[in-house]
Structure 1
Amino acid sequence: MSTTDTPTCLAFSPDGQKIASGTACSGVTITDISSKSKYQLEMLADAHTHITAVAWSPDGQKIISASPDHTIRCWYATSTHLVGPPFGEHDDLILAVGFLPDSSHAVSLSRDGELLVWDTGSGAITQRVTVSNAAQTIFVAALSVDSTLLVTSDTKGGVAWEIPKCVRIAEITLPDIPLLQAAIIPNNRPRVVLAFGDKSFWTWDVNTGKHDDARFEGLNGDDIPFAMAASPNGKLLALEIDGDVDHPTHFYDIKGHEFTTSDVKCTHPFAFSPDGNFFAASSVPSDSKDGSSNLIIRSVEEILGCSPLDVRFRFMVEY
């Protein structure tokens, strides 16, 4: 894979058998995990091939992607042809995209705080809500895999939004410490992991409004969380540390204890498969001869040096 194919974003298919990876210059590549075969979606000649966000529809039939030109495109995953014309109703950089459970509608959020729900075939907008404004800049945003929960934040607080109703369902006051990352745990009791600049993090239950405090162990004073992902069951966190060239990504349990058995070197973008058994990420550029990054896929068992059963056992024994 050349430098132009460096992954910029990625998403597992609903069945966990394929990965859609956006790249810096080559559009969207689909990788079949079992066969390791690849194919690319057909980008139009005038389309921006730099991809900033990508997602699968729940039925596995469509793929959506966002580009820096503020447009979103939707493809049939098998034919690689566009479902409809590009969606260009945003006026700023698109931060997050996803499909609603019916697979025919999408949700998208741009940096200016505009949240849109729209029909992927016709492009018709069914919901338009401003979740922030110029005085309350969105610093961190996270969208659940099923696009039914959105979390946004400004300098003072975080808000959980129910999608597609686009209504506030929970709010939380943040400490006087920069919030750097957020990740949604998409189980039947939605929780949000909020990582702060002092190496601490909260696990926020949006149903009860309560949160647990913890710290990422083993980090130095200059370590800054740069990217984060949570496994579907919430028992494993992947955290990339800015500036850590040799071993940028660390793995933790929900209490902040590090799995020191992991020797996988990877960097963002990264994601867990829907069943939590696989983890995909970008390789560390220093591992290649030309400084490029490749898509790597590892089982959680391989990453942690133990089986998923061992991970569950550790969780039950310690907590």
Structure 2
Amino acid sequence: MSSADALTCLAFSPDGQKIASGTARSGVTITDMSSRSEHQLQMLADRHIHVTAVAWSSDGQKIMSASPDHTMYCWDATSSHPLGPPFEEHKDVILAAGFLPDSSRAMSLSRDGELLVWDTGSGVVTQQVTVSNAAQTIFVATLSMDSSLLITSDTREGVAWGIPKCARMAEIALPDIPLLQAAIIPNSRPQVVLAFGDRSFWKWDINTGKHDDARFEGLGEDDIPFAMVASPDGNLLALEIDGDVDRPTHFYDIKGHELPASNMRCTHPFAFSPDSKYFAASSVPSDSKDGSCKLIIRSVEEARTHHMFNPGY
């Protein structure tokens, strides 16, 4: 990773053995968990170096990346070469992207509210849904790890979308307060934690459409949520606080109780492994001699005893 580079996105492979990490200047790096070896996707043009989103196919054979120029690429995860021309149907910044379970199709959502389902081989769009009729009003977009559930919000409402049908599953009226973050808690009755600009939290039940106030231990009146993600088993929540230099990220159980190991220093982007046993994040820039952000991988169990490991770069 180049000097003063920053991690922008992370994704574990379906088997949890590899991590794809996107950066602002160095493209996508694939890190092997067991050998701690790494290799980069073969990005041939400078405009593809900055990566804003990355995702694995469910069969582990493909990787998808998105760039600020509204384009997306599909890559062979083994050879690291692109599988075809760029997907260029979006006209605005891509906020969320993921493969569908068959690994041959993908979904992507751009800031202008266009949700597309497309064939990753041909690039043909098979479905298109406008999730917001007002231009550039999608402020929060969160996709579940299996790409089956998408949460979007504009200034008026939050919506849960079932993928790949792209159908509304539930709506929730939002208060006149900016919604900053959303985290999907996956289980048989999926819930969504919503974090607002006034430092309040809601826990929204997708099935009932109802919500309750949520509380997280140790958060003060000045602690604004900056990033948030839930583990796939629905047991843990990682929450980064904006401006918290000493302890940027806190870890909670699903009831809002803070874990003892929450003083570990790391920042977003975040990712839990599919089995929820590992957690990946970015190091704090000030911890690096050259100001760059390093990939940190932690065993969730070992994290409780403040142990972590770095993949060696």
Normalised to the residue count of structure 2, the TM-score between the two structures is 0.94
Deviation at 1:87, TM superposition (A): 0.2
- Asked if residue 195 in structure 1 is aligned to residue 195 in structure 2, the reply is yes
Counterpart amino acid of 1:295? L
Letter matched to residue 31 of structure 2: T
Does the aligned pair in 1 maintain the 2:247–2:262 contact within 8 Å?
no
C-alpha contact 1:262 1:305 (8 A) present in aligned 2:
no
Q: Equivalences for 1:104-143 in 2 at 5 Å?
A: 104-134=104-134, 137-143=137-143
Q: 1:227 corresponds to which residue?
A: 227
- For 1:208-219, what aligned pairs fall within 5 Å after superposition? 208-219=208-219
Q: Distance in 2 between matches of 1:197 and 1:45?
A: 38
Q: Name 2:311's counterpart in structure 1.
A: none
Consecutive unaligned residues of structure 2, counting only runs of 5 or more, are 308-313
CA separation in 1, counterparts of 2:282 and 2:187? 25
- C-alpha displacement at 1:5, in angstroms? 4.2
Task: Please tell me the root mean square deviation across aligned C-alpha atoms, in Å.
Answer: 1.7
Question: Paired residue for 2:304?
Answer: 304
CA distance in 1, matches of 2:243, 2:91: 32
Q: CA deviation at 1:135?
A: 6.4
Q: Distance in 1 between matches of 2:199 and 2:220?
A: 9
SS at match of 2:258: coil
Read off the aligned partner of 2:9 and give its amino acid letter: C
Partners of 1:181 and 1:194 within 8 A in 2: yes
CA distance in 1, matches of 2:49, 2:261: 38
3-state SS of paired residue (2:19)? strand
User: Does the C-alpha gap of structure 1 residues 244 and 207 become closer, same or farther in structure 2, counting only changes over 3 Å?
Assistant: same
Unmatched 5+ stretches in structure 1:
308-319
Q: Does 1:147 align with 2:126?
A: no
Matched, 1:97 2:97: yes
How many residues align structurally? 307
Q: 1:199, 1:216 within 8 Å by CA — same for their partners in 2?
A: no
Quote the offset at 1:47 in angstroms.
3.8
**How far did residue 216 of structure 1 move?**
2.0
Distance 1:129 1:144, change over 3 A: same
Q: Which residue of 1 aligns with 2:254?
A: 254
Distance 1:221 1:272 in 2: 28
CA-to-partner distance for each residue in 1:110-136, whole Å, 9 max, x for gaps?
000000000000000000111013268
User: Aligned partner of 2:29: which letter?
Assistant: T
Amino acid at match of 1:58: S
Deviation, structure 1 residue 255: 2.1
Q: Which letter maps to 2:146?
A: D
Percent of aligned positions that are identical: 78
Matched letter for residue 14 of structure 1? P
**What's the CA shift for 1:46?**
4.8
Q: Quote the Cα distance in structure 2 between the aligned partners of 1:215 and 1:188.
A: 22
Give the partner amino acid of 2:237: L
Matching residue of 2:173 = 173
Cα distance between partner residues in 2 of 1:26 and 1:231: 27
Q: Find the residue that maps to 2:48 and give its secondary structure.
A: coil
Alignment of 1:14 onto 2:40: no
2:279 maps to a residue whose letter is: F
TM-score normalised according to structure 1 size: 0.92
Aligned pair 1:38/2:38, yes or no?
Answer: yes
Return the alpha-carbon distance in structure 2 between the equivalents of residues 187 and 148 of structure 1.
Answer: 12
Letter of the 1:165 partner, please give it. Answer: K
Q: The residue matched to 1:286 in structure 2 has which SS?
A: helix
Shift of 1:262: 3.0
- Taking the aligned partners of 2:11 and 2:85, their CA distance within structure 1 comes to 22
Question: 1:3 is paired with a residue of what secondary structure?
Answer: coil
Q: Distance in 1 between matches of 2:22 and 2:257?
A: 31
* Contact persistence 1:232–1:272 (CA under 8 A): yes
